[in-house]
Amino acid sequence: MILHQILRLSSIFRTAVSIHLRRNIGLSAIVFNKTKELDPVQKLFLDKIREYNTKSKQTGGPVDAGPEFQKDMNESLARLQRAYGEGDLTKFPDFKFE
């Protein structure tokens, strides 16, 4: 009886330890990946995304968009407003659940 309880507790302990180790190994892998140097292609990709983000914030819209883009966008918005009614189509709709 005592041997059975010891074996059962050891299996529970083994399961808890294995879960704990798997979680820690997963977290340490994420931390290790953040600290190591990025691949040159990944670094270039991230630099371009960050550069586009700063340019987009400065211009307040799409980067390097000419007047024809703005004209096409205004025409599309007008067409959508005629088809689906009034309202601001540039904002995400506000849903209210009761």
Q: In whole numbers, what is the pLDDT of the chain averaged over residues?
A: 78
Give 98's pLDDT tier (boundaries 50, 70, 90).
confident
Q: What is the token pair recorded at 48? A: 């371009």
**Which helix (DSSP H) or strand (DSSP E) does residue 87 occupy?**
none
CA 89 remoteness from chain centre: 24
Greater pLDDT, 16 or 65:
65
Q: How many CB atoms lie within 10 A of CB 89?
A: 13
Within 13 Å, how many C-alpha atoms sit on residue 71's CB side? 3
Summarised one tens digit per residue, pLDDT across range 38-86 is: 788 888 999 999 999 998 888 877 788 888 988 998 899 888 888 887 7
